[in-house]
Chain A
Amino acid sequence: MTETASHSLTALASPSSILPKVGLLARLGRNLGRWLASSNPWLNLLGLGGFLILWHLLTTTLKVPLFAKLPGPWETVKEWFSLNPVYGISIFTLEYYQHIGLSCLRVFLAFLLATGLGVPLGLLMGWKKTFSDYSFPLLEILRPIPMLAWVPLAILMWPGRESSIVFLTFLGSFFATLLNSWLGVKSIDEAYFRAAKCLGASESLIFRKIVWPGAMPYVFTGLQISVGYAWFSLVAGEMLAGEFGLGYLIWDSYILVQYPVIVIAMLTLGLVGSISSLLIRSLGNFLIRWKVRESGQ
Chain B
Amino acid sequence: MENITIGGRLEAKNLTKTYHLDSGDREVLRGLNLTLEPDTLTALMGPTGCGKSVLINLLAGYEPLTNGEICLDGQPIHGPDKDRLVVFQETALFPWLTTYENVAYGPKIRGELKGADLTNSVMELLRHVGLDSFRDKYPAQLSGGMQRRAELARAMINQPKVTLLDEPFRGLDAMTRDLMRDHYLTLFEKRRGTHLFVTAEIDEGLLLADQLVIVTNRPARVKKILPVNLPRPRSEEIRSTPEYLTLKAEALELSHEEAMKSFKAGSLSSADFVGAYAALN
Give A residues with C-beta under 8 Å from B.
189, 191-192, 194-202, 205, 209-210, 213-214, 216, 288-291, 293-294
B172 at interface by CB-CB < 8 Å? no
* Inter-subunit contact A294/B140 (CB<8 Å): yes
Asked if B88 is at the interface of the complex by the 8 Å CB criterion, the answer is: yes
Given A199-B105, A294-B140: A216 and B96 within 8 A (CB)?
Answer: yes
Give the residues from 86 to 135 in chain B that come closer than 8 angstroms, CB to CB, to chain A.
86, 88, 90, 92, 94-97, 105-106, 109-110
- Taking CB atoms, residues of chain A closer than 8 Å to B109 are 199-202, 205, 209
Q: Does B81 touch A at the CB level, under 8 Å?
A: yes
- Chain B residues near A (Cβ < 8 Å): 60-62, 79-82, 84-86, 88, 90, 92, 94-97, 105-106, 109-110, 138-141, 154, 158
> Closest residue of chain B to A201, judged by CB?
B109
Residue of B60, B90, B138, B158 most packed against chain A (CB within 10 A): B138
List B contacts of A294 (CB < 8 A): 95, 138, 140-141
Chain B residues, CB < 8 A from A199: 82, 85, 105-106, 109-110, 154, 158
B113 → A minimal CB distance (Å) = 13
- For A201, the chain B residues whose CB sits under 8 A away are 109
Q: Is the CB of B140 within 8 A of A194?
A: no
The answer to whether A191 and B90 touch (CB under 8 A), given A198-B84, A199-B106, A205-B109, is: yes
User: Binding site of B, secondary structure by majority: helix, strand, loop or mixed?
Assistant: loop
Q: A20 to B88: give the CA distance in the assembly, Å.
A: 32
B79 to chain A, nearest CB (A): 8
- Say yes or no: A191-B92 contact (C-beta < 8 A), given A197-B80, A199-B85, A293-B138: yes
Once bound together, how far apart are the Cα atoms of A194 and B89, in whole Å? 13
Chain A residue at smallest Cβ distance from B57: A194
Q: A213-B96, A214-B96, A294-B140 known; A198 and B82 CB under 8 Å?
A: yes
Residue of A nearest to B84 (CB): A198
Q: Which of chain A's residues has its CB closest to B164's CB?
A: A198
Query: In the complex, are the beta carbons of B86 and A194 less than 8 A apart?
Result: yes
Q: Could you tell me the distance in whole angstroms from the C-beta of A214 to the nearest C-beta in chain B?
A: 7
Output the least CB separation between B137 and chain A (Å): 9
Question: B56: shortest Cβ distance to chain A, in Å?
Answer: 10
Knowing A199-B109, A200-B82, A290-B140 are in contact, say whether A191-B60 is a contact too (CB < 8 A): no
Set of chain A residues within 8 Å of B141, measured between Cβ atoms: 293-294
Q: Contacts A199-B158, A200-B106, A205-B109; is A290 near B84 (CB within 8 Å)?
A: no
Cβ-defined contact, A194 with B80, below 8 A: yes
